[in-house]
Chains A and B, each alone.
Chain A
């Protein structure tokens, strides 16, 4: 009903910039004009005109000059007074101050580490010059999961370069299967030895310490060592020009050392200790049939769009690999950007495990949330604390402090807390970093973390965030009217109380989400650990195959602890994966695929692989091929039941020499991590009588029963080395290798645990601080209540109830958030648990319990206090 008035904000703005002596005149005239406009043009236009008029008064003559005059006062004295008061206040409320510092510093430290982690993960391969022009060639098998595989036939690289003028250069990298290097009496298994084309150092800008990047790899039988490997083999000696004996899939060769390169940085998707020249590899130079782990990289000429080349690759594939294309509908090659491999590649068969973009997002969000919780704490505590100082502010204002001076004073106090927290955060980081390194497998030193280019921006961002967090309580307290402040009326606090409550709810929303998160992660991890794999990995050790096999095996069988042994091409649940093949089976027109493994000895018994149909042994001394297949294969090949599968024929190789019948079906077991589905699998014995006799003889797996594993392993090693004096020995405990498959998951779970503990700790610290302050503010009320006959229980209930309500709201909101996030995470596993209600209930109880404990101590103490004490003061 009231008359429309000029826009308030405009008036506020006017009062803000305009010197007081002009205000009455200006505002009066403006209002008069406003009333006229109102009649003539209506409210909207009048408002707009009013604003325009206000803005037209932004002239030097009207501006306030008071603040400029103030600057002549002695500021240093005021500043030192602020600092003094800040320090006194800090000491006066030691508990609250330390809660504040501990909470904030933990938040800062976790956020910094997460920030560093994310930055490091994103830095992979970014240092390689022109990395955006380098592409890796992938095979595409549309029916596989995943459909992309890194690696290709040997001639792929050079042929691509010839066929496509847009491709400037091609480099092939071939990782041999577990070769050994020998220098004098030093023999080591070196799985990270890679054969590379001569232009490697031109394509990838890795630095050579010694040697010419253009020629180091241009001769056959040459090798480049990394610095660490020079130290390992040569120590202080100069290795240049010396030769070393190589023993691997390419036979025995002498390699000449032509260069030394810096150790490979950790932040690249490549992994190698040695680079030998690809020219050394003479065999199969023109063979398109083998798809070994030969990674092919190409550089594109400037201005060439990768899409143009990708679209021409199906025809290219059909031209050079007609068989492959016939067998696998849609088979082709494709390109992926080298600099994106670590974060984004979906291809299988990489040099080393890749990063996970989703985990990065999770960590970034969690890191920011933790900082947010810590900042909320800080704001909450500062605001609550400042309430008890309203009298001080009132007096300051009465004596003549301006609003901005009060703000400044409180900012000095928060700056003090923040600076202290930063220092403490530095200490936390120094403590956390070793744990971080263990958990992530990285080697990041404290001094790397404190590099100026990292600390500079990070600390600036954090300081800005903290200053904003400090500004809010400062503005809040300084706004109080002098009279109210002196009256010590706290009704003003009501408005901000809503906000503080929202903060507490938010904190517990995050904490409870994390708690539910950990519970589900733990369940999935224990599911992984305890899942029946279909094979027994306990008490099985694998070692390389031996020369004089019969002699060695006789010796092995003589060891009483050895129960059984099996010889095989590959190992179950191990990163050294099976041999993927495409072939034909009886009753199917289309080619099928399977992971296959050549076995002999008591392989099935050693791993306790269960046979559900047919025979579990091959016919004695037979030159017939006989196959064992798994349940998945039975389904995939359309044979429906295991019994029905028996006797069916498998045409394993294109020349039809390896052809035989299915003699047994074994229960599905896991080859890879639980992220992967169990693929169709084949096992068979090498029935070649005269040739390829070593085929399928790569590992000896030994099942044992002993309490002294170390001693047994030593005995086995001794016997093995006797037979193979020039070879490198190693052993793989299958239990460990299963764990290795899930290393990333264990890592994720461990980091998650730490983060959650920190988040809960910070949230509880906040709750503790708030309840302490609440209790302090209500001392008198409690005193009166008790004097009037309230019980201890009644009073503590009264005090806890309001907090618990907030915690509960946070919990209820957390449930759907956590459910959504964890479903997402679990979907990354092919074999997973389902989320049950019990995790939510446990998290619920846990959070309530923790917060009760946090508040309980305070409230009970307050409730037990003698009312005479609290009522006496004043």
Chain B
């Protein structure tokens, strides 16, 4: 369990990288996260998360081309590995499972699960 643990922020980052598909590099991830979560995200937090996820094996990366922008620095593009996808799926499954077990009378709001 410990090895596959996903923090909330990490999960978000993984998901956003999935959304961005081929264009997932630091700044893009940060912006997408801000749009999706409606909060301000520091680039430092993004870099920390992506690199940590890469160390865990959930992400793989490759550098793009050298361009004139960014002071000649290459972009580092991330992709979610199969292993990462599995972790995401597991997290989602666990949540669904939990949601399903909530009795219909317990919550007052309607969700798709309590049929």
Contacts and interface: CB of A to CB of B under 8 A. Distances in A.
B27 A29 contact: yes
Given A22-B51, A56-B42, A32 B27 contact: yes
B43 A56 contact: yes
A35 B75 CA distance: 15
Interface string B25-51: 111001000000000001111011001
A26 B43 CA distance: 9
B71 interface: yes
B76 A31 contact: no
Interface in B66-115: 69-71, 73-76
Interface in A3-44: 5, 22, 24-33, 35
Contacts of A27: 71, 73
Contacts of A35: 69-70
A59 B76 contact: no
Contact of B44 (A28, A32, A56): A56
Given A30-B43, A56-B43, A62 B48 contact: yes
Given A22-B51, A25-B26, A29-B27, A53 B43 contact: yes
B76 A56 contact: no
Contacts of B42: 53, 56
Contacts of A61: 48, 51-52
A84 interface: no
Nearest to A22: B51
A22 B73 CA distance: 12
**Which of A28, A30, A35 has the most chain B CB atoms closer than 10 A to its own CB?**
A28
A33 B27 CA distance: 7
B48 A31 contact: no
A57 interface: yes
A59 B48 contact: yes
A53 B44 contact: yes
Contacts of B63: 24
A29 B69 contact: no
Contacts of B70: 28-29, 31-32, 35
B25 A29 contact: yes
A17 to B, nearest CB: 12
A32 B69 contact: yes
A57 B76 CA distance: 17
Give the interface size bracket for A toward B.
10 to 19
Nearest to B63: A24
Interface string B9-39: 0000000000000000111001000000000
The CB with the most chain A CB atoms within 10 A, among B26, B44, B48, B51, is that of B44
Interface centre among B26, B27, B43, B63 (most CB of A within 10 A): B43
Given A53-B44, A56-B43, A28 B51 contact: no
Given A35-B69, A61-B52, A28 B45 contact: no
B52 to A, nearest CB: 6
A28 B48 contact: no
Contact of B74 (A28, A56, A57): A28
Nearest to B67: A28
B43 A25 contact: no
A58 to B, nearest CB: 8
A179 B112 CA distance: 116
Contacts of A59: 44, 48
A25 B26 CA distance: 8
B43 A62 contact: no
Nearest to B42: A56
Contact of B73 (A28, A33, A53): A28
Contacts of A26: 26, 47
B43 A29 contact: yes
Given A22-B51, A61-B52, A31 B73 contact: yes
Nearest to B50: A25
B48 to A, nearest CB: 5
A26 B26 CA distance: 8
Nearest to A18: B47
Contacts of B76: 24-25, 28
Nearest to A21: B51
A27 to B, nearest CB: 6
Interface string A399-410: 000000000000
A53 B47 CA distance: 11
B82 to A, nearest CB: 23
Nearest to A27: B73
A35 B70 CA distance: 8
A210 B10 CA distance: 83
Interface string A631-661: 0000000000000000000000000000000
Interface string A348-380: 000000000000000000000000000000000
A31 B47 contact: no
A25 B75 CA distance: 6
A236 to B, nearest CB: 84
A33 B43 CA distance: 9
A449 B56 CA distance: 64
B47 A62 contact: yes
B47 A22 contact: yes
A28 B75 contact: yes
Most chain-A CB neighbours within 10 Å: which of B52, B69, B70, B74? Answer: B70
Nearest to B29: A29
Contact of B26 (A5, A29, A56, A62): A29
Given A53-B42, A56-B42, A61-B52, A28 B47 contact: no
Nearest to B49: A61
Contacts of B74: 24, 28
A394 to B, nearest CB: 30
Question: Which of B26, B30, B52 is most buried by chain A, counting CB atoms within 10 A of its CB?
Answer: B26
Nearest to A11: B71
A835 B76 CA distance: 76
B74 to A, nearest CB: 6
A233 to B, nearest CB: 85
A29 B31 CA distance: 12
Interface in A26-78: 26-33, 35, 53, 56-57, 59, 61-62
B44 A57 contact: yes
Nearest to B55: A61
Contacts of A29: 25-27, 30, 43, 47, 70, 75
Nearest to B46: A29
Contact of B45 (A25, A30, A33, A56): A56
A33 B76 CA distance: 15
A685 to B, nearest CB: 100
A747 B78 CA distance: 81
Contacts of A22: 47, 51
A22 B45 CA distance: 14
Given A22-B51, A31-B70, 11 more contacts: A25-B75, A28-B70, A28-B75, A29-B30, A29-B70, A33-B43, A53-B44, A56-B44, A61-B48, A61-B51, A62-B48
26 contacts: A22-B51, A24-B73, A24-B76, A25-B75, A26-B47, A28-B26, A28-B70, A28-B71, A28-B73, A28-B76, A29-B26, A29-B27, A29-B30, A29-B70, A31-B73, A33-B43, A53-B42, A53-B43, A53-B44, A56-B42, A56-B43, A56-B44, A57-B47, A59-B44, A61-B51, A62-B47
**What are the nearest 10 A-B pairs in CB distance?**
A56-B44, A28-B73, A29-B26, A25-B76, A28-B70, A57-B44, A31-B71, A56-B42, A31-B70, A32-B27
